[in-house]
Amino acid sequence: MPELPEVEVTRLGLVDHVTGARIQALHLGKPLRWPLGVSVDRLRGQLIRHIRRRGKYLLLDLDEGLLLIHLGMSGHLRFDRALPPPGPHDHMDLHTDRGVLRLHDPRRFGAVVFAESESDPQARKLLGRLGVEPLTQAFDPAEFHRALKARRAPIKQVLLAGDVVVGVGNIYAAEALFRAGIRPTMKAHRLSAQRTGRLHEAIQAVLARALAVGGSTLRDFANTNGGSGYFQLETMVYGRAGEPCRVCQTPIKLLRQGQRSTFFCPTCQKF
C-alpha cells in the first residue's frame, strides 16, 4: 500500500495545482472505506487553502473544514485540466476551477472524508493515535528509545503499528532494520539506546532516499503524473528472499510477522 514516501510524493505533486483552487463539484463513484460525511453541496464554492500530510493521510484545508484523503492499498491521485470519463475504478472526481483531482482505487480501501476540523471526532478517530512524523525534528532519538522501552512486541511490528512513529511501512521497516543491523524479531524493549539511535538514523535515511526516488511502485502506485517510483529497485532485503545479501552474500530470509512478509539477512542482522 502507499506509505509515507508515496503519500508525500503525491502531496508534492499536487500542492502547486490545488492550493488556491476553488471547488466546483464533487462526484463520487462506488462507496469507499468510509462515507464522505457531508452533503457535496457543502463543498461547492470552497477554496482549497493548503494540502498537508499526516501519516498516510492527505489533508486538504478548506475555507470551512477539511477533506481527509487516504489512498488505501492500491490508490493514487491524478490532477489534470481535463480527464477522460471516469472508469470503473475511479471513485472520486473533485472538480475545481483549475482542473480535476481524481482518486483511482481498484480495491476501494481508500477514503475521502470531511471533518469540521482536526478536533472533530471523525478526524480524531483517524488521526488521533498516529505517532510522531519521522522526518521532522519532533522525532527525537531519546523519546524514541523511551517509547520502545514500553513495548514488548517485536520491533518490526512496533514500527508497523504507527503509534510510536508514523509512516514506516513494511518495505521501509525492513530496509531500516537492515541498515541498523537489527533483526526484525528483536523485542522493542530490549533495544539499547545506541541501537535505537542507529535505527532512528536508519529510518530517516531510508525514508529520505525513498522520497528522493519517488517512493516505491510494487503494484499499483503512480505519482500524480502517472509515473512510477524506483526505491524498490535498490532494496537491500525487501522482496529478495533467497537472493544473496548485497553486503555479505548470505541468502536473504523470509518469515511472517502478523500476516506480513518480513525479509532480513541472518548475518548482517544478528541482534
Catalytic entry in 22, 49, 149, 260: 260
Q: Decide if 44 is catalytic.
A: no
- Assigned C-alpha cell, 175: 530496509
Q: Decide if 156 is catalytic.
A: no
Q: Decide if 266 is catalytic.
A: no
Rounded Cα–Cα distance for residues 121 and 116 (Å): 9
- Residue 58: burial class (beta carbons within 10 Å; 0-12, 13-18, 19+): buried
Residue 17 and residue 83 in contact, taking contact as beta carbons nearer than 8 Å: no
Neighbouring residues of 118: CB distance < 8 A, sequence distance ≥ 6:
59, 66, 124, 127
- Name the residue with cell 475504478: 89
Beta bridge partners of 102: 78, 93
Residue 118 and residue 124 in contact, taking contact as beta carbons nearer than 8 Å: yes
Rounded Cα–Cα distance for residues 104 and 214 (Å): 18
Residue of 91, 88, 87, 61 lying closest to 76 (CA atoms): 91
Q: Decide if 154 is catalytic.
A: no
Catalytic entry in 56, 98, 240, 253: 56
Catalytic entry in 3, 6, 8, 175: 3
Active site residues: 2-3, 56, 260
